[in-house]
Amino acid sequence: MSVLPNADHSRSGQPDSSGPAAILDACGVTCGCLEQLIATEMRRLAPGDVLEIRADRTEAADGIAAWVRLTGHTLVAIERGEPVPRARYLVRKKTPRT
């Protein structure tokens, strides 16, 4: 597992067209442990920023979706990769209600 901060900080708060603010490479991480890693990274981001999560477990898709529903963040996209079930999950950090 590794975290790769995005070098282009100008994207903070404007993630839709310019990609993730940070990348969490969680390949090899099992369920139950992945969620905590995501939570830690999301806390470091600004509202509206996107975290890219790279995972290679079949159950990651459902697990990430459930965790995102619980927390109120948004699963923007899932980009399937090779070898299956490797994928990239793009999660946008929620904006606090005013």
Rounded Cα–Cα distance for residues 2 and 31 (Å): 16
Binding map of another protein across residues 9-38, x = CB under 8 A, - = no contact = ---------------------x-xx-xx-x
Instruction: Lay out the sheet containing 22-25: strands in order across.
Output: 2-5, 22-25, 50-55, 87-92, 74-80
For 3, phi then psi, to 5°, come to: -120, 130
By CB under 8 A, residue 95 contacts another protein? no
Q: Shortest distance, CB of residue 63 to another protein, whole angstroms?
A: 9
By CB under 8 A, residue 67 contacts another protein? yes
Which residues sit at the interface with another protein, rule CB under 8 A? 30, 32-33, 35-36, 38-40, 67, 70-71
